[in-house]
Structure formats: C-alpha cells, structure tokens
Structure 1
Amino acid sequence: MNADLDFSYAPDIYSFDSWHDKFNMAEKIQTVLKGKRAQLMQRGKGKLAMLMSTMPIVVQIGENVFVHGGLTPETISHGIDELNQDVAKWLRKDTDVKPWLLDPVPKGGRTVSPLWERVYGMPIVPETALSNLDGMLDKLDAKRMVVGHTPQKYGISGVETDKEKEVWRIDTNLNDKIMGRVECLEILTDLDSPEAASTVRVLSEDGRIIDAQKRKNMFEELLRSQSKTETAVPAPLRS
C-alpha cells in the first residue's frame, strides 16, 4: 500500500528512526511527514521502496514457510519464486504492472492475497482452510507455516491439521498504542541431522519457555462445545 502511496493505515506523523543509519542521513529523523514518506516509498527510486524490493513476500527455510497473511491456492498456483520476482520488479519499477496477488480487494467474495489472508488467524480455522493448507505444504515439502497480520489476543498460538501440519499465528498485537503479549516463536533445527523433527517453543518476556504443545490447538475444546454456526469466544491462556 505504501508503494502505491496509500498511507491510510499509517499515522500522519511516522517515525523513521530505525532507517537513519541505514541511509546515512545527515540529521537524525525523529518524525517524517507524508510528503517525505512518499519520497522514500516512490517505486524505482525511493530508498525504502528499493530496500523492500530485496525482501521476498514468501520465504521458505527448510520445512518452515513464512508469510505475512497466509498461503492461498492462488499463491501456490502463481508460484512463490515468481511472485517474489514480480513484486521486486514492480517495486524497482522495471514494470508498471502490479502483481494482482498484492490486491487486498476480495476476488469472488474472498481474499486471495498472501499479504491479506486472515482465515488462518481465526480462533477456529475452518476445516476447508486446514485441508487446503495440508495440500499446499505438501507441495512445498514443508511442515509448518508461520503468519502474522491477524492479532492474537491471548498470545502466540498454533493449529495442527489432520496430517500433522501446523500453522503458527505470531501477531501478538504489539504496537505503540496496544501492548499485547511480548512473545516470540522459537524453531530449533539440528543442522547435523536435518531430517530430525524441529523443536518449536514459545518464549515469553518473563523468561518462561512454553512447549509448543501447550499452545497448539488450544481452541479444540471450545470447538467441541460450540455449534459450528455459533461465534466462538476464546478463553484466556493459562500459560
């Protein structure tokens, strides 16, 4: 959106402190107005736009897939490498054709963008979405998908599919106005035995190390007790 010069989700005054050293600016920038932000985000020449062109939309590291909103069948059909390349070309202004998978507008009544998908952030993920996830991760030879985008009120949580694939939701609603849980997801892999299963844990601000199983499928009991047509309200986490 920012590369489209659409700042509707950004405040009028925005801090770019973290970019100061990156771009060797003469004076430390405390706040930047929209006009300056538009210069930084201008496709083909803006420093932030050019930096973002080096950042892929979807990243796969071993059996782990990282994406902001979530994989969709359209993403897989288009091709992850192709999508990353198309977005990079658009940000560099090698082309003026915007990749359609960046569009937040629902197609056929539903979102298809890997940046805007929210179905995997729902307290109870629909069975159809989990079935789709099984198929997509199988094609990528992956075990789990890690997503953000949809805030998780009660902390990082995971959902396991029937095929023992996983989706981890790590947006804990941390920002300068709403202080959510300070947590991170840790994925440990034995590099000497890459075929061995990874260890997944949740690390909390107070030093606790929480086994993934305690945060996985935490809404199963709720699912059993609620009608599928009812709106589920999750209970707070105990760990």
Structure 2
Amino acid sequence: MKIWDINPGYLGRQQLLTEHTELHSLAQVIESQLDGVGKMNSAVLRWAYHPAAVALRHAIVVEEMKMRDIEHKTPIAVPSTACEWPTLEGDWTAATQYAELADKGVAGRIPLPMSSVQLWEQHAYSVMARDLPLFKELQSQVESKAIAFDELADLLVETLRRPCHQHHWDKVVMGMWEPCLVASEASDYRSSFGRPDRLLRGIQYLSAQYQWPELWQATALTELACAVRVN
C-alpha cells in the first residue's frame, strides 16, 4: 500500500484506486489524532503529519480518476493552511517509483518515461505554469543533456508541488487550447474564452475524445485543475 509522489497519470487503474483508498484511510487516521499511525508502512507514514498535502494529493488523484471516467463521491476538504509536503528521501525517489511501475508492467494515461527528454515533455506545461525562468533553464539542461534522469525526476515532483502563478497558469491553459482548435467541437467553447478555468475543462474533454499526445500525455491536463494559484 503506497501513496505515490509522481503524477497519478502514470498509475494504472488498480494503483490509482488503491492510492485513493489509502488516502482516505490516512485522512481518517489524521482526524483521529493519529490513532493507529504505528501500523503504517514507511511509504504511507511519511504523509501522516502533512494533512494539507494528503488533501491536495487526493484532489490530484480525483482529477485523474475523472479523466478515466471513474466515479468519485468521497471528497476530502482541502485545509486553508499552508501546505507542507513530505520529502523525497531514502530509496523511495521519483525515479524509483517510475522503475517500480515499469517492473509491474503498469500502463497509465501517461506512458512511463524512457528518457529525460520524454519525462520533460510530459511535465513542460506544468513547470511553465509555475516558474517561467525554471522552465527555460530545464529546457536548456535537457537539450544539452546536462541533467540526469533521476535528478530531473525528483526536481519535477518538487516543482509541481509549488503554487502556480495565476498569469502563467492562464497563459499555459490558452497554449494548451491551441491543439484543440482542430476539433470540430472547438467552436462549442467560444463562451469559455476569457474563462481559463472553464476552458481547461473543455481541453480535458476534447483530449479524452481525441487523445492528442501533447495533451493526453501531459501532467498538466489534470493537475492544473487543482493547483494552488497565487497572484
């Protein structure tokens, strides 16, 4: 039983549902003042003292469930307090998590990355919505092969935990909309122009219908829907 750090788009259906159940179990333990925490394995225990992170991780998992037409009726309220995430440490790194899924032959919405280039392409929109200078820096490092896969994998997990800049978030959503313009249904979303939140839902719907790789295989397709935004 695990709570993962990598984007839930990489998880197979069974891993996704199992993590959702585990998050609810952990939320109940937190509500009970950590009664039963001693029975948890280390992959779950490190989340026990981070209730806001548990709630946000649950929200991201739920977005992925919706993208795969999995019904969800059990919300977890996201606290208004600042979110502190558990650290990536020991043997349970982001690269280790990708490797474990590969060993199991897991197939999620997003293909497991086989190179730093593929990993970066899957996360590029998400990083751009948070930190444009970092986006440019990582783009350069990946192109020049100046960053190792393991280092990039951990850095991307940590970056996607950061709040988005509202202006960047809006621009990224509009950029994600451009591939959707080829769809015959694109004109149905004219009323959403100027409303990036609504437009993102349209992007999700059309991506599910057409599965364009640049959108369907992007972490941003789901995680931007529940990302914390600041001005």
Structure of greater relative contact order (alpha carbons < 8 Å, 6+ residues apart)? 2
Indicate the TM-score class for this superposition, using the shorter chain for normalisation. Answer: under 0.3
Which of structures 1 and 2 has the bigger CA Rg? 1
| Between structures 1 and 2, the one with greater helix share | 2
Please report the TM-score for the alignment, with normalisation by the length of structure 1. Answer: 0.27
| Between structures 1 and 2, the one with greater strand share | 1
